Amino acid sequence: MIKKYFITGTDTNIGKTFVSRILLQKANKSGYLTAGYKPVASGSYNKKYGFKNKDAIILQKNSSVLLSYQEVNPFCFYENAPPHILSSLYGKKIKKKYLSLGLRKISQKSNWILIEGAGGWYTPLSYFNTFSEWVQKEKLIVILIVGIKIGCINHAILTEKAILLDKIICAGWIANILVPTEKYKIEYINTLKKYIKSPLLGIVPHIPNNHNINIDNINIILP
């Protein structure tokens, strides 16, 4: 049986890719044939990789099966802006059937797939449909990443409520410590444990950019 998880977050820039990297590494260590899938990405130029999204590159590098960049990231936009706006401006429609086709191709190679969304739960793919509708169509199980910072409690509660109202299974949530100096980070997490129905899968400590990750030191329950 193929396990397929959709990673969403309470906001943009809250560490979805960073946590996805950890989850992929843990799944690799557990013996799964893993694949990361970033069907839609914007902000895709950087000096190191050229016209490729750096988050998609991270997913590709941490997958245990060999995937081309195109397989990992079929819809790639140059600018860093909401994908539905760029899609409309440049006449490149993000069609759900192509997202599904890409997922089916990856499913032929792997048995543990991590699909990373863009932004939050209701990020639009067009002016008429959102990413969440595609998740519903594919019956994916969601993992919610909560960036621990001021405002995260409201965002997390609203996001989980929206996921459950859409009749989607939420495997759980992961707390990602964004600001090491945040005075009340433990209180934030304890509050969310009271309000969020889905289980807490783990807490990711703050790790500065470019530091090596020792996944054995990060206690996350692999769903």
Provide the annotated active-site residues: 38
The strand ranges marked E within 79-207 are 112-120, 141-148, 170-177, 200-204
Contacts of 105 (CB under 8 A, 6+ apart): 71
The sign of the torsion formed by the CA atoms of 168, 199, 118, 56 equals negative
Structure tokens at 94: 């993000």
User: Among all chains, which residue has been given the structure tokens 């919610």?
Assistant: 144
The sign of the torsion formed by the CA atoms of 178, 181, 186, 187 equals negative
Structure tokens at 125: 């793919």
| Residue 62 and residue 54 in contact, taking contact as beta carbons nearer than 8 Å | no
Q: Pick the closest to residue 52 from 31, 25, 33, 78 (CA basis).
A: 78
Residue 206 CA to residue 208 CA, distance in Å, equals 7
Distances (CA, A) of 21 to 36, 78, 121, 201: 9, 23, 20, 15
